[in-house]
Structure 1
Amino acid sequence: LHTEALTLEWARPVFTAPVFSFGAFVSLALPLFVVTMASQNLPGVAAIRAAGYRMPISRIITTTGVATLLLAPFGGYALNLSAITAAICMGEEAHPDKDKRYSAAVVCGALYVAIGLVGAAVTGVLLAFPRELVAAIAGLALLGSIGGGLHAALKDDGHREAALITFLVTLSGVVVAGIGSAFWGVVAGALALFVQQYGTAKSKHP
């Protein structure tokens, strides 16, 4: 354990006045928007629908955008659907009854608030443990969500190859033009699906 990283202090919000510039818009704001939409909101919507929920996606994303606008000066920027957390909270492990799984999100939100108040101490605890142990614990927490997502994505024969390509490209961790693998996985899967359906349609109508 690296105990020198342990500290105990309350977190304090610090206001940072926004400064607008074209350079920041092109090099920071726009890429951050694309990454947030591609790597969090898009998988988050997919996780919501894969779990069988039908929600007003436009209103949800609008709400997160307004909240980001208000909280960004205090460090709360890029609020989003949080794909991984959403997948965990909407799984059968959260509650057998699908209508009561919101309780997992409530508990998760309360924990976020508590952890935020002692953010420095929690970060120190995580840094004190070996990186491999933290990664292993996080991986174990995601096993159920990953298994359920793969089962739902691969059960349709017509979309199986595209879904598998999407998963593999996303898993690769490739970064192109500053955009993460989640976005390129969706692009690769969409192209694969287009090619597959185009080939099928062409074979039916030569």
Structure 2
Amino acid sequence: MTALRRALAGVTAATVVVAGLLLGGVVGAGSASAHDYLVSTAPAADTTVTEPLTQVVLGFNEPPLTDFASAIAIEVRDAAGANIVTDPVSIVDSTLTVSVAPTAQGEYTVLWQTVSSDGHPVSGEYGFTYAGPVAEPTPTATPGAGEDPTSAPTPPASAEPDETATASPDASGTIAESGDSGALVWVGLGGALIVLAIAGGVVALVTRHRRAA
């Protein structure tokens, strides 16, 4: 009887262990399957885009946890590694969208990260080829023919000061032309000399007259 009880106890223990393992496997599988996953992309993976590309759109099976929006991101990198995304991620239900501006034709890689509805971060990447139109670069101004781009521009010719037209105050306090004032000085000196000469002549005549008398 004792041996039977021991056998039954052993079977019971084994059953508990097996049941625990099976339950753990089911729970683990359920937890893993709860992660959100990518269901659609635009552009599609491994395709060639010939039309103008302005957006990249990713669709998931469940909406992400927007409380962790800072952990939700999309990058679209060209062959040189430059990110061509121009705006933050837009989240509408289970769709993530970003605006892009392709810089050249060639291979592009989409890298994405989101926060699954079960609270776990999930990420991935895929590629596509862009063969559509690319915006022309804005032309920059270039020097004209024969111009030296290093030379400074020639300032406009300024009027040279006219010495004869420089205004200066005269003795009466009025503004007179400096050229005219110089002429007036010479005229005054000449007049003074004439007056002195006349006075000298008069004095000489008077003196001779007196001597003769």
How does the TM-score come out when normalised to structure 2?
A: 0.17
Q: Which has the higher strand share?
A: 2
Q: Which has more radius of gyration?
A: 2
Higher RCO, 1 vs 2 (CA within 8 Å, ≥6 residues apart): 1
